[in-house]
Amino acid sequence: MANSKFILGGIDVPRGSNMTINLELPKLYNTPTQLPVRVIRGKKDGPVVFISAAIHGDELNGIEIIRRFRKLNILNKVKGTIILVPIVNVYGIMTLSRYLPDRRDLNRSFPGSVKGSLASRVAKIFFDEIVSKCQLGIDLHTASIHKSNLPQVRTNIDNEFTFNLAKAFAAPVILHSELRDGSLRAEAQEKGIPILLYEAGGALRFDETSIRIGVKGIVNVLRENGMFPKVLRKTTPKIPIITRTSQWIRSNESGMIRTIKALGDTVKKDEIIAYIDAPLDNDSFEITSPFDGVIIGKSDIPLVQEGDAIFHIAKLKNLETAENKIEYFSENAMEQSEFYELNNEEIIE
């Protein structure tokens, strides 16, 4: 639980307040740079949770998710403290780049160092000033450039606490994800701070379905974590697809890709999911699925080189059940504005 006193960036944030704090970052060619942080503190003590986006500067969906989330009326009833960081990589977003000016990946630079590279210094500030003060984090991502992800939550499904929160998020897919050296999630886990990763959509664009699922998912997680009042359920909770194994399928030839299957489609083992066509002759090569599963990520451009990752498939046992679940999410994701739904829920006081 949070203490009665909460300080961020040297500023005492009183109970019941909603304020923006600018953290100083390393200067860029002597130009001052700041990390803007919104702190929303309830009148009652409770968990401290951060929600971050744009650790990669070309991942924009999370920025919009946080913008919409912070306008919800339910924030007036929060118990505890929410720290919103809509743009962690403020350098990368200036140039629409995944990376920092030193060409490093911020999400491979943790725990960071005050004497290290630019990426390392930003990682150190972000972790020490924000992440270390929290008991939980939700980190928002998209696919890399020229790829798209089906909305999915990645976490350690062997951890009962994070697995329950991942299910509460109610994205179509929960994918068991191992830790990567230097990542925010790996460093946070080392310090006992669990993090959910929400991956949805593609770089440098908004995806409305991904955004709406993200806003509602954050509210669901915070409610499950005891930070928002419970509500009277009007619909049956959505049950996501849960999988431990996934694999990127790579092109075995260079050419033009002609896809047969789309994001969210279920596929059977050895089923053709695309063709690689030679642009100057009639040669055509099949791309098949190595196992039964669902497509959770794919390349968005028709040009491919031999070895390019073109489909990300999550391995499944029951395709019929998975197909029904994906269809249910697709039918319901765009029914109404998330603002109407979340601001008109029947609260159980």
Sole residue written with tokens 């489909």: 311
CATH code linked to domain 7-240: 3.40.630.10
Interval 301-329 mean pLDDT: 87
Band of the pLDDT at 238, cuts 50, 70, 90? Answer: confident
Q: How far apart are CA 68 and CA 341, in angstroms?
A: 13
Q: How far apart are CA 296 and CA 61, in angstroms?
A: 17
Give the CATH class of 245-331. mainly beta
Contact 176, 157 (CB under 8 A): yes
Residue 333 has pLDDT above 80, yes or no: no
CB atoms within 10 A of CB 167: 20
- In degrees and rounded to multiples of 5, residue 304 shows phi and psi of -135, 145
Interval 18-26 mean pLDDT: 96
The predicted model scores a pTM of 0.93
pLDDT in tens, 152-195: 999 999 999 999 999 999 999 999 999 999 999 999 999 999 99
Res 326: pLDDT: 76
Q: How far apart are CA 262 and CA 273, in angstroms?
A: 8
Band of the pLDDT at 262, cuts 50, 70, 90? Answer: very high
Cis peptide before 111 (omega within 30 of 0): yes
Res 252: pLDDT: 92
3-state class (DSSP) for residue 180: coil
Cα dihedral 202/204/207/210 (nearest 10): 60
Q: How far apart are CA 153 and CA 195, in angstroms?
A: 10
Residues 6+ apart with CB under 8 A from 337: none
Domain residue spans of the chain = 7-240, 245-331
Residue 338 has pLDDT above 70, yes or no: no
* Residue in 97, 115, 114, 91 with CA at minimum distance from that of residue 35: 91
**CA distances in angstroms from 193 to 78, 196, 199, 246, listed in the order given:** 20, 10, 19, 25
Q: How far apart are CA 214 and CA 209, in angstroms?
A: 8
**CA distances in angstroms from 85 to 63, 169, 228, listed in the order given:** 9, 19, 20
Interval 9-20 mean pLDDT: 96
* Residue in 217, 78, 193 with CA at minimum distance from that of residue 134: 193
Residue 30 has pLDDT above 90, yes or no: no
Residue 345 has pLDDT above 70, yes or no: no
**CA distances in angstroms from 136 to 21, 28, 48, 130, 172, listed in the order given:** 20, 31, 7, 11, 22
